[in-house]
């Protein structure tokens, strides 16, 4: 088969046996299509898959034309964020539970990937967040987030206090368990359970969602994705900054975090016929028959 994706990287959620089996089947199928197969080194070590080149994230980003993720949304989040640095598109095979971003079902994964190799797909560019933490005026932490940046009270049993600004303009002092800044992709994740809005991926916005606010009038608000959101931890509070639930930073009083849209984007490939609204109906069980 002639395809634009001549070298494909595979990343798997390697905690389960089923993923190892699916990974081996996918690698073997790609080889029959004349594709060079690269296996993420951590995935290869955990699944003990043999006969394929195991590579680092950096090497995969430099060489792969496409990365296929076999796992759930967490695995997809991590791989998509890593590949964004290299501009490599990502497609997901759902091996988890909900699978908001992993479009291809495991039962017909070979047929779904075959169609993408034939060019039957749609390309979807998604926003990434860039977050930088400052302490005493100096930058002390910097990272990216695909879903969200979460500010939480951490181990403390009481609310925290946060001063929130948007584009330098004062928004409010929030007394709450914390807050979420979510991309449209992340609007169906943690922010959704906190009554945040669902943002279509084409919406150029970021959702600011309070977590259990003391004032019931503190409601979620959507701002432009060109905005810079600035949050300062009020004294004497301490808290934690979480980034896609993958990395975290333990913040002190007066620490300041700046959250803005990154110049990089995540590129997702969807099978032909993909519908965001159909995905929502399926995953959130809308229009289903009530059970009594």
Q: What is the DSSP letter of 145?
A: E
Q: Around 246, how many Cα atoms within 13 Å sit in the side-chain half-sphere?
A: 18
Q: Does 167 qualify as catalytic in the annotation?
A: no
How far is the CA of 222 from the CAs of 196, 260, 265, in angstroms? 9, 14, 20
Backbone conformation region of residue 121, classed left if phi is above 0, alpha if psi is from -120 to 50, else beta: beta
The angle formed by the CA atoms of residues 34, 35 and 36, to the nearest 5 degrees, is 125
Question: Which residues touch 138 (CB under 8 Å, ≥6 apart)?
Answer: none
Tokens of 204: 């150029």
> Which residue of the set 40, 73, 124, 255 is catalytic?
73
How far is the CA of 31 from the CAs of 37, 40, 129, 184, 270, in angstroms? 7, 16, 36, 36, 22
CA distance 67 to 63: 10
Residues noted as catalytic: 73
């Amino acid at each position: 088969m002639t395809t634009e994706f001549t070298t494909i990287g595979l990343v798997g959620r390697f905690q389960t046996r089923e993923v190892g089996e699916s990974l081996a089947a996918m690698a073997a199928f790609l080889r029959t299509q004349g594709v060079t197969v690269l296996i993420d080194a951590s995935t290869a070590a955990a699944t003990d898959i043999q006969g394929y080149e195991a590579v680092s994230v950096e090497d995969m980003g430099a060489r792969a034309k496409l990365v296929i993720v076999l796992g759930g949304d967490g695995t997809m989040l991590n791989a998509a964020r890593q590949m964004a640095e290299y501009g490599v598109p990502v497609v997901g095979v759902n091996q988890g539970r909900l699978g908001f971003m992993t479009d291809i079902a495991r039962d017909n994964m070979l047929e779904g990937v075959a169609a993408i190799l034939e060019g039957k797909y749609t390309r979807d560019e998604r926003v990434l967040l860039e977050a930088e933490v400052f302490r005493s005026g100096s930058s002390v932490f910097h990272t990216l987030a695909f879903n969200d940046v979460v500010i939480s009270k951490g181990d403390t049993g009481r609310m925290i206090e946060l001063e929130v600004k948007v584009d330098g303009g004062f928004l409010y002092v929030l007394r709450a368990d914390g807050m979420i800044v979510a991309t449209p992709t992340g609007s169906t994740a943690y922010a959704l359970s906190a009554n945040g809005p669902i943002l279509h991926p084409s919406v150029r916005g970021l959702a600011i969602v309070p977590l259990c606010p003391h004032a019931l009038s503190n409601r979620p608000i959507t701002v432009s994705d060109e905005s810079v959101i600035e949050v300062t931890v009020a004294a004497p509070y301490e808290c934690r900054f979480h980034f896609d639930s993958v990395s975290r930073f333990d913040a002190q009083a007066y620490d300041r975090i700046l959250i803005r849209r990154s110049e990089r984007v995540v590129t997702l490939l969807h099978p032909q016929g993909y519908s965001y609204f159909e995905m929502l109906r399926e995953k959130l069980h809308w229009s289903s028959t009530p059970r009594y």
